[in-house]
Amino acid sequence: MLAVTDLHTYYGESHVLQGVSLDAARGAVTAVLGRNGVGKTTLCRSLVGLTPARAGRIALNGVDITRLPPYRIHRLGVSLVPQGRRIFPSLTVRENLAIAARGDLDRVFSVFPRLAERAGHRGNELSGGEQQMLAIARALVARPLLLVLDEPTEGLAPVLVAEVAAVIRRLREEGTSILLVEQNVAFAVKLADWAHVMSRGRIVHSTDPAALWNNEEVKTQLLGVPPAGAGARPRRDL
Ligand SMILES: Nc1ncnc2c1ncn2[C@@H]1O[C@H](COP(=O)(O)OP(=O)(O)O)[C@@H](O)[C@H]1O
Ligand SMILES: [Mg+2]
């Protein structure tokens, strides 16, 4: 469904995406994993047209969207849930969702019953988990074909991480394709059908998630996961 080929994106002179190539299959959860600063958010922004790529190609179902403005990419069915949620703190849940649509709020509230209960509460009255649900709900109002989630578990307590996982599973069952951008490797490998590993502006490894989980070298060197059995022992190599 999504085919990214040799994508290059800059902030001014700073060359951040240095030839990203990846695919995401229809109906699948595709993970993009990588440490802080490797360019994950920049990739998300290029996909939705917010920071357009300077070279390379992004195709959605065979249609070249590389140079389209954000509103047209959104209309073609790609929605981003940005890192840090970016909901409107002084607006209610209902108002935050109404800004996104025209769409059908009943469906969104059926996926997120807790938001239905909180429909009249302001964004700043929600818990971190509820804010993340609202950010996802807002992206879903448009009924996207491809949902791009930029670090949805960042800063969430484990019980809320489990809720985000349940939402992702449900959306996948309903046929939404998902690009799951994460630093939380354990979370992503449980949900993903395929995983890409990013390092310094490139995809350096593409793999079955189970194989990734068993690849100690990639996990420790590229993803910062402590070596198996390391537990809480102090690291003598630092
Ligand atoms: N708006 C910006 N202007 C200049 N440099 C940026 C900007 N946003 C991010 N960067 C730089 O681009 C690199 C990749 O950042 P980012 O895409 O946010 O990585 P990640 O999401 O993987 O943590 C980092 O070196 C970061 O400092
Ligand atoms: Mg980021």
The domain that contains 73 carries what CATH number? 3.40.50.300
What mean pLDDT comes out for the span 102-127?
Answer: 86
Ligand 1 pocket test: pick from 8, 11, 180 the residue with the most ligand atoms within 8 Å of its Cβ: 11
Query: Quick one: pLDDT at residue 224?
Result: 87
Query: Quick one: pLDDT at residue 238?
Result: 45
Query: Quick one: pLDDT at residue 230?
Result: 61
Number of domains in the chain: 1
How does residue 99 score in pLDDT terms, banded at 50, 70 and 90? confident
Residue 237 within a domain: no
Residue 67 within a domain: yes
Query: Quick one: pLDDT at residue 228?
Result: 72
Among residues 6, 31, 27, which one has the least CA distance to residue 205? 31
pLDDT for 216 beyond 80 = yes
Residue 76 within a domain: yes
Please state the atom number of ligand 1 nearest to the C-alpha of residue 35: 22
Residue 115 CA to residue 127 CA, distance in Å, equals 11
Q: Are 193 and 28 in contact (CB under 8 A)?
A: yes
Q: Which residue segment(s) compose the domain that 49 sits in?
A: 2-223
How does residue 112 score in pLDDT terms, banded at 50, 70 and 90? confident
Query: Quick one: pLDDT at residue 233?
Result: 53
Residue 234 within a domain: no
Ligand 1 neighbours, Cβ below 6 Å, are: 11, 14, 16, 34, 36-42
Q: Which long-range contacts (CB under 8 A, 24 or more apart) does 155-159 make?
A: 155/128, 156/128, 156/129, 156/132, 157/128, 157/129, 159/129
Residue 179 CA to residue 29 CA, distance in Å, equals 6
Average pLDDT, the chain: 91
pLDDT for 234 beyond 60 = no
What mean pLDDT comes out for the span 122-139?
Answer: 92
How does residue 231 score in pLDDT terms, banded at 50, 70 and 90? low
What mean pLDDT comes out for the span 17-43?
Answer: 97
Query: Quick one: pLDDT at residue 236?
Result: 52
Query: Quick one: pLDDT at residue 184?
Result: 94
**pLDDT tens digit sequence for 143-202:** 899 999 999 999 999 989 999 999 999 999 999 999 999 999 999 999 999 999 999 999
Nearest ligand, CA 42:
1
Query: Quick one: pLDDT at residue 66?
Result: 97
Residue 199 within a domain: yes
Residue 232 within a domain: no
Residue 155 within a domain: yes
Share of the chain above pLDDT 90, in %: 76
Instruction: Check the CA dihedral 128-161-180-219 and report its sign.
Output: positive
- Higher pLDDT residue, 226 or 60? 60
* Nearest alpha carbon, ligand 1 atom 3: 11
* Nearest alpha carbon, ligand 1 atom 27: 37
Query: pTM (2 decimals)?
Result: 0.92
What mean pLDDT comes out for the span 203-225?
Answer: 93
What angle, 0 to 180 degrees and rounded to 10, lies between the N-to-C axes of helices 128-140 and 158-173?
Answer: 20
Residue 238 within a domain: no
